[in-house]
Amino acid sequence: EIVMTQSPAIVSVSPGERATLSCRASQSVFNNVAWYQQKPGQAPRLLIYAASTRAAGIPARFSGSGSGTEFTLTITSLQSEDFAVYHCQQYHNPRDLTFGGGTKVDVK
Amino acid sequence: QLQLQESGPGLVKPSETLSLICIVSDDSIRSSNHYWGWLRQPPGKGLEWIGSINYSGTTYYNPSLSSRVTISVDRSKNQLSLNLTSVTAAETSVYYCARHRRLLWFGDSQQGDSWGQGTLVTVSA
């Protein structure tokens, strides 16, 4: 099983500032990483796939980077609607899709 | 717009079988274009993929759950089913059903992916 570890567990950011979220894979997953946003009581929303490709309708303030074992989701100029939990997921092994534990972005 | 609705018992006893269904609002479960999957999320924790099934009935299960899980489709009823045997309290979670175009990621709206709203299942005596 490929273990995905996200850090930090919680990041406090002021509106308008930048948030940087990290995700580490236990082995190389090349660029086979997706990122999701999840708000309370809602299903996750796909933000990024292939480590850096934004999904349809996702604002440009969301960007993904990384390859191999280290990945980053950056949210520039945080808006009020961006305070949520963010999950990374690897699909390098499509027979064993795994997610990280999530990072909560809350208001500083 | 496609809607997925999970339903089933909200409370299951330890060691028993968790059974859920997902009602699909259109006939797309009869087409070959998508996978149909189940995921879960313990309260306050991360997501876990349980497994998926394709049009031909081929199933793909999380290796850690494969000995206890069965996913099936009933096209005559437009529904997807999940059975998970011998559950423990640690499996208390919100269970989601999902339609996904690729066996890679979930929720790609360009590909017609969709999620249910999720249903909380508590495992407790």
* Contact check, Cβ <8 Å, A45/B108: no
- Work out the pLDDT band at B30, boundaries 50, 70, 90: confident
Average pLDDT over chain A reads 97
Q: What is the pLDDT of residue B1?
A: 84
Residue B77: what pLDDT?
Answer: 93
Report DSSP state, residue A10: E
Mean residue pLDDT across chain B: 95
Residue A46 forms contact with B (CB below 8 Å): yes
Q: What is the pLDDT of residues A38-81, one digit of tens each?
A: 999 999 999 999 999 999 999 999 999 999 999 999 999 999 99
Could you tell me which chain A residue has the CA closest to the CA of B96? A43
Interval A83-107 mean pLDDT: 96
Residue of A101 and B28 predicted with greater confidence: A101
How does residue B79 score in pLDDT terms, banded at 50, 70 and 90? very high
Residues of A in contact with B104 (CB under 8 A): 32, 34, 49, 91, 94, 97
A45 in contact with chain B, both atoms CB, cutoff 8 A: yes
Residue B32 scores a pLDDT above 80 = no
Per the omega criterion (within 30 degrees of 0), is the bond before A40 cis?
A: no
Q: A55 CB near a chain B CB, below 8 Å? A: yes
pLDDT for the residue numbered A51? 97
Q: Is the pLDDT of residue B31 over 90?
A: no
CB under 8 A, 24+ apart: contacts of B57-60 = B60/A94, B60/A95, B60/B35, B60/B103
Dig out the tokens for A4 from the structure: 């995905």
pLDDT of residue A54: 97
Percentage of chain B with pLDDT > 90? 86
At residue A21's C-alpha, the angle toward residues A17 and A22, to 5°, is: 155
* pLDDT of the residue at A81: 96
Which pLDDT belongs to residue A37?
Answer: 98
Residue B6, pLDDT > 80, answer yes
Round to whole Å and give the CA distance between A39 and B36.
23
